[in-house]
Amino acid sequence: MTEQGQRPDLPARPAGGDAEDDAAVIRRSRNEPEHFAVLFRRYAPGVQRYVRRRIGAGAADDVVAETFLAAFHQRSRYDLECESARPWLYGIATNLMGRHRRSEVQQYRMLARTGQDPVTEPFTDRVDAAVSAEGQRGPLAAALARLPAAHRDTLLLVVWGDLSYHEAATALGIPVGTVRSRMNRARTSLRRSLATAGEPEPDGPHRDWSAVTRVKES
């Protein structure tokens, strides 16, 4: 990263542009490529957090860079009827993480064995000893590792990517009904795994892992 977080292999940051919606930014970038950097400034931190939660810090920088470079090269095909590019970017990132499935599952299994979370702890500043979800992180991680990849992608786009069901559907290129079905099956599987492990369903607020089984449709 260079000064102010700008990658040297992305277009230089333009002046202005923050008031435009994403579709307008992409439309303008087709003739003024440097304008695409507005989207990088707008969404890179969130994409970075999402990717890092899933595959760890080691590969996250590369995946994030590849996400925005892929988006830049695909901008001519972007549907300008979609004002927000967020689902599109998270979908690209999720697809790129496909080659890191093994690393992701290994991290969940390590957490299940040791109770040490190598993904969320490095950038989680909140410390709340009263959060009851702490004891369930291991069982939840083990259950996530056992989920089918498509169900895990859908669940974590909603939980950690903070996408709505409709946005997750856009990101994954599937009907919203499929998102609902995958979410229901994933939550049922996780709750069943917790019950089998003798753990109560987590109810602590504001915690990455406790949120996994408590997602409401949005």
Domain ranges of the chain: 22-203
Q: Does pTM surpass 0.75?
A: no
Taking CA atoms, 17 is separated from 14, 23, 32, 85, 176, in Å, by: 8, 12, 12, 15, 31
Helix intervals (H) in the chain: 22-29, 37-55, 57-74, 86-96, 101-114, 137-146, 149-159, 165-172, 176-196
Residues 6+ apart with CB under 8 A from 176: 165, 166, 169
pLDDT the model gives residue 193? 79
Tell me the mean pLDDT in the region 72-93. Answer: 96
> CA-to-CA distance for 41 and 30, rounded, in angstroms?
18
pLDDT digits (tens, 9 = 90+) for 51-76: 988 887 778 899 999 999 999 999 99
Residue 106 CA from chain centroid, whole number: 18
Structure token pair of residue 107:
């991290």
> CA-to-CA distance for 133 and 43, rounded, in angstroms?
29
> CA-to-CA distance for 117 and 122, rounded, in angstroms?
9
Structure token pair of residue 128:
């709340």
Q: Position 43: which residue type? A: Y
Residue 118: strand, helix, or coil: coil
Which range among 33-37, 46-50, 177-181, 207-211 shows the weakest confidence by mean pLDDT?
Answer: 207-211
Residue 12: strand, helix, or coil: coil
Residue 125: strand, helix, or coil: coil
pLDDT digits (tens, 9 = 90+) for 155-202: 999 988 999 999 999 999 999 999 999 999 998 988 887 777 655 554
